[in-house]
Structure 1
Amino acid sequence: MSRTRLTGIDAARGVALLGMMSTHIFPLYDPATGEPTFVALAFSGRASALFAVVAGIGLALLTGGTNPGTGRSPGASRRGIAARAAVIALVGLLLGGLDTSIAIILFHYAVLFLMVLPFTSMSLGRLAAWAGGWICLSPVLAYLVRPWLQENLNPPDVGGNITWEHFAEPATLAADVFFTGFYPTVQWLSYLLVGMVIGRLDLRSLPVQAGLVIGGIFSAVAAKYISAYLLIDAGGFAELLATESGRRWPIGRMLEVNLTGVEQSGSWWWLAVSAPHSGTTLDLLHTCGTSAVVVGACLLLTRARPNLLLPLSAAGAMTLTLYSMHIWVMAIVDAQDPPLDPSWVFWPQAAAAVLLGIAFFKLGSRGPLETVASGASRLARDGKLTGERR
């Protein structure tokens, strides 16, 4: 890796990639007992959150790191980010046309890049205040808006991955992207803002790296403890069971794994849960905490030896290409009858991701889609395709 590149950040992105792949392939519930699996308990909701937090870190580093707004003009930096977002959105739309059960993140990811543009030149203090406020208030806004969307839009979401056809229904598309989809960007902007706060710190500093681990553990544990107290000791869980969704779904087990598809309405107690993909304040605090732990640990491990985590950091440096390849492979795997054994699906893909990452690293090259995105960014930002690689 280049001397200026923090390989620990790439390694954290590699963890997120492999974690997301595992949740796409392995069952989240044991088919015999119905109990949550290890993959569900370890990676559901956390891997995708880490992916978004690391994106925020990358944007902070691209826009000055500890000195926001230095170097290129803020307008030029924003043009570059917007062009990168356009490439990611295009890839997401192309993948959305594949027949797969995976909820593809890329289009929402691109929208998040655009939503974060007003924050790219903010100082650390202001950015931290916005991040804290967004984590606290965006889930409340979503809780208030979703029922109105459910009543007034038909359909209120796209019902799958976003494709070109969905632009014919702009209201439904907007509702899905911002509030009702698998990755509601109104709440998910919290991850990018937290990532940008982390990216404004001196990430080469030992106290900062250790602080990310310690602070992340505290945030993650505290969020789960507060949620458990509110649901069990304060009686919130009984109130949830009395709602329409509580009567319809096995909420107890879903709170451990994933609340996707569960309509969280009818009781303010839904805001007390910390379940993966619930989008509540406590969920955001927990997953931001686990993301900070992974980032801090990867930075600590690569502090003295930048390539110590090369299998992860090399794959993490080209996640757009590898994620897209994974979606394409899974579209083929999903069509197989009978279904393939998950282990024979995951481990070859994980090995291929690592080997391809290392091969491109040894060649001193970026992944194909990373090259396109970077070129579009430089062209929009500087008016030329060549320039400093960051």
Structure 2
Amino acid sequence: MKRLEALDAARFLAFCGMVLVNFRIAAQVAPDGGWATALVDALEGRAAALFVILAGIGISLSHIAAPLLLRRALFLFGLGLINMNVFGADILHFYALYFVVGAAFLTASARSLWLGALGIVGLAVLANLTFDYSNGWNWATLTYNDLWTLPGFLRNAVFNGWHPVLPWAAFLLIGMAIGRSELHTICIQHRLIMWGFGAAVLAMFPSMLVTDPDLVTYLGTESIPPGPFYILAGTGSACMVIGLLLKLWPKLKRLGVAPALTAPGRISLTLYVAHILIGIGALEEAGLLDGSLSPVQIVFYALGFCVLSSLAGLLWSRWFTRGPLEGLMRRITQPRAA
């Protein structure tokens, strides 16, 4: 299948959403009820879910072999551990664990992938009924007290971290299932849009039917804690974005905006690390990680970084086909031809 450029564009949009969310987390910006707060609230958990679903689609479309996928998982795990020392909400080491789960489903049918995703969500629900989700967390400072102990790290990675395997690995399997379909056809694109919209709307109702505060939280669509209807909402919004971009892509190409979306989307791993080291790093150097920024200020700073990321992607694509970290991962994990 010819490369679907719209998926690269979706990856860049997911990156931009994560930048908005992560900059707010790092800068400790207090919500004010305005449009900027509402925008980032709407993106929280959704942008990262889109990112993971796109990874699953990429796995299916690339027909990657299990050994190579596991080597890439090991690379991302090491990079994520390094990144965690700078930014505690790192997603890369979680990504690596999702890849391990995905490797076990590489030859599975679309139906088996959907069932696997459902099973992961079911295990997450069971874990939340059995264990204390707050264990290890200091919610006032958003720090995890025993992260660098073996029990704490495993608990964080599998159960109650920022993006734990239970249930976040379901997004990867869902993406793999979507990647089994004929994404280039109008029929599939319409299904993604309509079913995605329906899922996102349906996910909002369960929390409205209960009054217990704990149930309202868990049956809601917030990413912390990630309940089953958060997975439904995240999947629905991701499907809508993917379907709309696939359908509208010919028009976007005619408007001339396609390269500004696809070029940075192809180096999203490099940009993800850059937004922490450079974007958040600049805020730290300026002494602005103390909660002094307003929601509007952090949104404009984040959007400015996204524009610069797009320009960097365009410039880089003139001379190179892969980003620096993408190329390094390929060089380390891809076996050389004899």
* TM-score, normalization by structure 1: 0.75
- Output the amino acid matched with 2:128: Y
Give 1:67-146 correspondences, 5 Å limit.
77-98=65-86, 100=87, 103-135=89-121, 137-146=122-131
Ranges in structure 2 where 5+ consecutive residues have no aligned partner: none
For residues 323 and 9 of structure 1, the distance between their equivalents in structure 2, rounded to whole angstroms, comes to 17
**Is 1:312 aligned with 2:251?**
no
Larger displacement relative to structure 2 (310-319 or 191-200)? 310-319
Aligned twin of 1:348:
304
For residues 271 and 343 of structure 1, the distance between their equivalents in structure 2, rounded to whole angstroms, comes to 28
Q: Structure 1 residues 269, 161: CA separation in 2 closer, same or farther (over 3 Å shift)?
A: closer
1:157-186 per-position Cα deviation (integer Å, ceiling 9, x unaligned)? 9x75899x92xx222111110002111111
The one of 219, 225, 239 equivalent to 1:272 is: 219
Give 1:1-390 correspondences, 5 Å limit.
4-26=2-24, 31-32=31-32, 37-63=37-63, 77-98=65-86, 100=87, 103-135=89-121, 137-147=122-132, 150=135, 160=143, 166=148, 169-228=149-208, 230=209, 236-237=210-211, 239-240=212-213, 270-303=217-250, 308-329=257-278, 330-338=280-288, 341-342=297-298, 345-379=301-335, 384=336
Structure 1 residue 304: deviation in Å?
6.8
8 A Cα contact 1:107 1:162, kept in partner: no
For residues 33 and 149 of structure 1, the distance between their equivalents in structure 2, rounded to whole angstroms, comes to 26
For residues 88 and 33 of structure 1, the distance between their equivalents in structure 2, rounded to whole angstroms, comes to 36
Q: Structure 1 residues 11, 35: CA separation in 2 closer, same or farther (over 3 Å shift)?
A: closer
Ranges in structure 1 where 5+ consecutive residues have no aligned partner: 65-76, 231-235, 241-266
8 A Cα contact 1:93 1:107, kept in partner: yes
Structure 1 residue 317: deviation in Å?
0.8
- Output the amino acid matched with 1:57: I
- Output the amino acid matched with 1:192: L
Total equivalences in the alignment: 325
Q: Structure 1 residues 361, 161: CA separation in 2 closer, same or farther (over 3 Å shift)?
A: farther
For residues 108 and 128 of structure 2, the distance between their equivalents in structure 1, rounded to whole angstroms, comes to 28
Structure 1 residue 144: deviation in Å?
2.7
For residues 273 and 148 of structure 1, the distance between their equivalents in structure 2, rounded to whole angstroms, comes to 15
Based on CA coordinates, which of the two structures has the bigger radius of gyration? 1
8 A Cα contact 1:375 1:385, kept in partner: no
8 A Cα contact 2:264 2:309, kept in partner: yes
For residues 350 and 156 of structure 1, the distance between their equivalents in structure 2, rounded to whole angstroms, comes to 31
Larger displacement relative to structure 2 (333-342 or 312-321)? 333-342
Q: Secondary structure at the match of 2:181?
A: coil
* TM-score, normalization by structure 2: 0.85
- Output the amino acid matched with 1:139: A
1:186-236 per-position Cα deviation (integer Å, ceiling 9, x unaligned)? 1001100111111011111110011101110000001112332x2xxxxx2
8 A Cα contact 2:49 2:235, kept in partner: yes
Root-mean-square deviation (CA), in Å? 3.0
For residues 108 and 195 of structure 1, the distance between their equivalents in structure 2, rounded to whole angstroms, comes to 16
For residues 130 and 327 of structure 2, the distance between their equivalents in structure 1, rounded to whole angstroms, comes to 39
Larger displacement relative to structure 2 (9-18 or 300-309)? 300-309
